[in-house]
């Protein structure tokens, strides 16, 4: 594939941007800032950007078939029936929120939400992968474990392979997925990356640092050809892996810490990339000033459209509504990027 030229989408940076998705009905990009406790949105027609404060750290978000969003917050899974609406708790978190929170996740083609966790002490593999089916029995079903930071959740185009990574362990795993039942079988390593060298620490020189350490797998997306695109955190690069796990493309990035790619635009050939700046040194931020911004580029192969979370069934009664903070119920507008009336969210 040809080289990728990146352009900033946002004029304000996130501490740790994550979970981007393209909403085809709204022609808008959504994403979150985890430590910033914020939901963000960029509109294709106007270029306007909006931000909503959240009561706790979001791990991931996704659109719901009946309208609104499903949000995985530290305390559980919540539904917002519309932007700025009160949050309705669908199910409580199955862990101790003092040490664990939800992290990366997305819906499968059947409308089930698959969401991993992060065990914040990071001293043992206590993170797990859960499945939530809004149509079925209330609750979350644990489907996999043995991780520290669950990440990289994605599905093959036919919906029969599930990918899930453990970032600190530098490994992406895969399972066979039975679409109708959600059963996982045949666990295996999809790709394992070289660990961080002993004694390595960022120096502020991106070229020298990435030559010694290629980073660890963070968020991911799958394209229409079944290739897995993964952001390599601290590696300053984006990789494309073939369905057999081989690295077939490796692109350098203008940031050290990419977090998650997402395909969007009308033709799904605009690639968005969230990034991080939290905890990075002044020298690194000076060398990589786009850290924390959402970036975009055009690619040759389209991605897969977002899957919508199913509507809650009659057995799932939402909990008490929790209003978003006063003054941000309708979102704070950041306006279009300077110098243009709209950003290029649509295809060429």
> Tokens in use for 229?
């695109």
The pLDDT tens digits of the residues spanning 275-326 come to 999 999 999 999 999 999 999 999 999 999 999 999 987 666 665 555 444 3
What's the pTM? 0.92
The pLDDT tens digits of the residues spanning 115-132 come to 999 999 999 999 999 999
Q: Is the Cβ–Cβ distance between 308 and 65 less than 8 Å? A: yes
Residues 131-135 have a mean pLDDT of 93
Beta-bridge partners for 199 = none
Task: Tell me what pLDDT residue 337 has.
Answer: 35
Catalytic residue among 43, 209, 218, 223: 218
Per-residue DSSP letters for 284-321? HHHH-TTTTS-EEEE-SS-BPPPPPBPPP-TT-----E
Q: What are phi and psi for residue 207, nearest 5 degrees?
A: -65, -50
Q: Is the Cβ–Cβ distance between 190 and 173 less than 8 Å? A: yes
Task: Tell me what pLDDT residue 332 has.
Answer: 55
**pLDDT reading at 209 higher than 80:** no
For the chain, domains (ranges, CATH) are 7-192+216-314 (2.120.10.30)
Which of 106-120, 214-228, 243-257, 314-328 has the least mean pLDDT? Answer: 314-328
Answer yes or no: 218 catalytic.
Answer: yes
């Amino acid at each position: 594939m040809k080289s990728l030229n990146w352009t900033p989408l946002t004029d304000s940076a996130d501490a740790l941007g994550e979970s981007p998705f393209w909403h085809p009905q709204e022609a808008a990009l959504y994403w979150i800032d985890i430590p910033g406790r914020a939901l963000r949105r960029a509109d294709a027609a106007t270029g306007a950007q909006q931000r909503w404060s959240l009561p706790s750290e979001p791990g991931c978000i996704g659109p719901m078939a009946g309208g609104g969003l499903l949000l995985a917050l530290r305390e559980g899974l919540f539904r917002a029936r519309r932007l700025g609406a009160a949050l309705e708790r669908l199910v409580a978190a199955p862990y101790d929120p003092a040490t664990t929170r939800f992290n990366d996740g997305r819906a499968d083609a059947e409308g089930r939400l698959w969401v991993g966790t992060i065990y914040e002490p990071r001293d043992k593999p206590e993170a797990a992968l859960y499945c939530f089916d809004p149509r079925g029995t209330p609750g979350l079903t644990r489907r996999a474990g043995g991780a520290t930071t669950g990440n990289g959740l994605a599905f093959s185009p036919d919906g029969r392979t599930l990918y899930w990574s453990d970032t600190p362990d530098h490994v992406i795993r895969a399972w066979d997925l039975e679409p109708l039942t959600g059963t996982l079988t045949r666990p295996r390593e999809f790709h394992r990356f070289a660990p961080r060298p002993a004694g390595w620490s960022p120096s502020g020189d991106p070229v020298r640092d990435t030559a010694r350490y290629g980073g660890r797998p963070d968020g991911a997306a799958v394209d229409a050809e079944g290739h897995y695109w993964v952001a390599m955190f601290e590696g300053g690069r984006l990789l494309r892996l073939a369905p057999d796990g081989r690295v077939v493309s490796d692109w350098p990035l203008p940031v050290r810490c990419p977090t998650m790619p997402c395909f969007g635009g009308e033709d799904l050939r605009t690639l968005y990339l969230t990034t991080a700046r939290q905890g990075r040194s002044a020298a690194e931020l000076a060398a990589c000033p786009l850290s924390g911004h959402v970036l975009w580029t055009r690619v040759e192969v389209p991605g897969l459209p977002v899957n919508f979370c199913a509507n809650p069934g009659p057995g799932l009664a939402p909990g008490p509504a929790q209003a978003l903070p006063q003054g941000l119920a309708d979102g704070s507008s950041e306006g279009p990027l300077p110098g243009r009336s709209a950003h290029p969210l649509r295809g060429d």
